[in-house]
Structure 1
Amino acid sequence: MKTPRFWYQSASHPFAKYLNPFSKIVILANRFRQKISQPKYFPIPIICCGNITVGGSGKTPIALEIAQILKRNHFSPHFLTRGYGRKKKQSHFKNLYISPTNPPSIDLKFFGDEALLLGRVAPCWIDSDRRKTALLASQMGADCLILDDGFQSPLLYKDLNLLLFNGQHAIGNTHILPAGPLREPLLDAIKRADYAIIVGEDRFKLSDRLKKSGLPTTHVSLAPSSTFLNQFLSEPVCAFAGIAFPEDFFKMLSQYGLKLVKTYVFSDHHIYTKSEVEKLLKIAKRFPLLTTEKDAMRFPEEIRKYFMIVKVKVIWHSAQKRDEIFQILLKKYKARMSQ
């Protein structure tokens, strides 16, 4: 699905005005769901890397970064995901599990690109029933769980709610679905969040608004690895991406000195057709062809090798606030263990 342009235009756009009555229904439904649901409490901490906009806030890179921090501190995190973007969901392939030592043994379409990426760093469970996979993960040795998305889900008790924002796009036209990109009102989300992370340049000064509400806020940037940069700085390159905001990916490459001569845009979680693959392979014969790690997961290994996969790293603007987030989690972990 391509993001509707009017979501990131004026709040008084005719489409937004027309759809706004439906947004009110979505707000009421979400608030009712939050009110009546009883979150299931697990004996190990649960960290949620979520957002309030539809796609493109940097959840997956941050979830991977949190997992790496936990592993460096001798934790054994597992990921829980619904497997968004996967195309095959037969009942006999529920409770799917992949990990760095347990790569997929069936069709990649059963997993979704995000799960495949997460499973390279830590064990990842894929199922729409996160309560069930949380129990399975705890039985398989996890001592903390990371939700990639799930901020709006009231089914699991979350010890640490990280609310992520794309600084380039903030909260769009401020309207709720379908009139805008928000899944719920900002103030509703702030009440449940423990920390906000703004990914990229804060173009709309969203941090000022978040700090006024009392929500602790920090900033991070995404950057290509230095090894990758050194390899391609001296030659023209092409790039393609099928993510929520492909222009953000292309802009990052240009900002770090890469000479983009042509870019190709696809919809978020796009499944590439045979003809599209053939076209991309022809381009790759003429220029180094760059793409995101998430896009690369949608190709079989024999095709993937022809593309230059851009690995990104998370740069914390404040190491102190990064450590503060970890200390909050550590405090909650110790409290759990003492019960």
Structure 2
Amino acid sequence: MNRWVARIWAEDCGATRILSPFGCLYGLVTGARMRRAPIGRVAIPVIAVGNFTVGGAGKTPTVGALVRMARAGGLTPMVVTRGYGGRLEGPVVVDLAHHGARDVGDEALLHARLATTIVSRDRLAGARLAERLGAHLVLLDDGFQNPRLAKDLSLVVVDRASGLGNGRVMPAGPLRAPLAIQIERADALVIVDSGEGTHPSTLALIETATARGLPVFDAHLAPLDPELVAGRRVVAFAGIGRPGKFAATLAACGAQVVDFVAFADHHPYTAGEAADLLKRAAAADADLVTTAKDAARLDAPDGPIARLARGARVLDVALVFDDGEGLVRLIGATMAGLDRRPA
């Protein structure tokens, strides 16, 4: 997300109020789309992982955590994703030996490291392929607002620090559709804490969800190998929804961030940008460090991008639920209910 847009969407201001009529119009369209009856369903459970807003909330690590939970329960999950940033429409099974970020997008590559992942612009077609391949359940990445495929459980991920911003619909704010319509279709919230505080809208949303009887699960991002950067001088770079999350994680690991370069989400790195990052690190006598999502896009065979990929440390993170057992019970109850659903 553009940093200027993110800044004006964080709170109400003159620009967002001027754009408000356009947000109302967009909300009417997206709201009507969300109200449509699903075109089809599959016989296996479909768990959607989405968010109310545009930008990074933590969907990718949430899906990863659900994959691990499902496998711990003896199930075979498969991930279905649109493949944002990739050229393939699918449905196609991601092959890490042959596909790159330009083919299937960066997030699909991360998912494919953990589970069979299908890229499909048509979510229903992707879920049907997962069913044919023997999946026990489908984890739908970012298909919450998509009406084509019926969902059995919808988990909405919310970043604690950014929340719902000013609460307006795009382009006046970050909401993808009016909140009232979206929350009607949510089954639970996942509040992700990255150590950056709490936005007032997050507190209001939790109160609303609690009043409606929606379960609210707290979670936090935990670096897999904090010693990778602890005590080191680093030049960090990140092209994710909220680069500030990565900066906060580095600080929590004890890294000394001497330079931080933020790019837009899913940013495709150029040779010039890679050369500049290498130069910054050399001038600062510091290590380069980035996210796993960014590293997935550094897939050039040679040149500055290849050198950047070889030289950058990758600090990966995992999502940890404060009440993982409660979420497992919710998913289990959903699947048990589906066993009694008429064919």
Give the TM-score, by structure 1 length.
Answer: 0.90
Give the structure 2 partner of residue 118 of structure 1: 111
Q: Secondary structure at the match of 2:236?
A: strand
Distance apart, 1:45 and its partner CA: 0.5
Runs of at least 5 residues in structure 2 that lack an aligned partner in the other structure: 301-305
Deviation of 1:148 after TM superposition, in Å, equals: 0.7
3-state DSSP of counterpart to 1:305: helix
Q: Partner residue of 1:288?
A: 287
Shift of 1:331: 2.1
The alpha carbon displacement at 1:94 in A equals 3.0
- Partner residue in 2 for 1:314: 319
Deviations 1:247-296 (A, max 9, x none): 12101211232221111111111000011112223345532211111101
In the alignment, which residue of structure 1 is the partner of 2:303? none
CA contact (8 A) 1:6 1:16 kept: yes
After TM superposition, give the deviation of residue 199 of structure 1 in Å: 0.5
Structure 1 outlier segments of 4+, above 6 Å:
none
Determine the C-alpha separation between the residues in 1 that align with 2:31 and 2:324: 35
Correspondence for 2:181: 188
Structure 1 gaps of 5+ residues are none
Question: Percent identity between the aligned chains?
Answer: 33
Please give the alpha-carbon distance, in whole angstroms, between the structure 1 residues aligned to 2:173 and 2:314: 32
1:146-225 matched pairs, under 5 angstroms: 146-200=139-193, 201-204=197-200, 205=203, 206-225=205-224
**How far off is 1:34 after superposition?**
2.9
1:242 maps to amino acid: G
Report matched runs for 1:1-339 at 5 Å.
1-3=1-3, 4=5, 5-9=7-11, 11=12, 13-86=13-86, 88-89=87-88, 94-98=90-94, 102-200=95-193, 201-204=197-200, 205=203, 206-225=205-224, 228-285=225-282, 286-300=285-299, 302-303=306-307, 304-335=309-340
Amino acid at match of 1:136: L
Q: TM-score, normalised by structure 2?
A: 0.89
| Contact persistence 1:78–1:125 (CA under 8 A) | yes
Are 2:100 and 2:109, in contact at CA under 8 Å, matched by a contact in 1?
no
SS of the residue corresponding to residue 38 of structure 2 reads: coil
Q: How many Å apart are 1:240 and its aligned residue?
A: 0.6
Write the distance in 2 (CA, Å) between the matches of 1:193 and 1:202. Answer: 21
Provide closer, same or farther for how the CA distance between residues 143 and 177 of structure 1 changes in structure 2, counting only shifts above 3 A: same
**Paired letter, 2:137:** C
Alpha-carbon separation, structure 2, partners of 1:322 and 1:256: 28
User: After superposition, what is the alpha-carbon deviation per residue over 1:60-100, rounded to whole angstroms, capped at 9, x for unaligned?
Assistant: 000111011111211111111111122x34xxx632211xx
Q: CA deviation at 1:59?
A: 0.4
Cα root mean square deviation, aligned: 2.0
Residue 340 of structure 2 aligns to a residue whose secondary structure is helix
SS in 1 for 2:237: strand
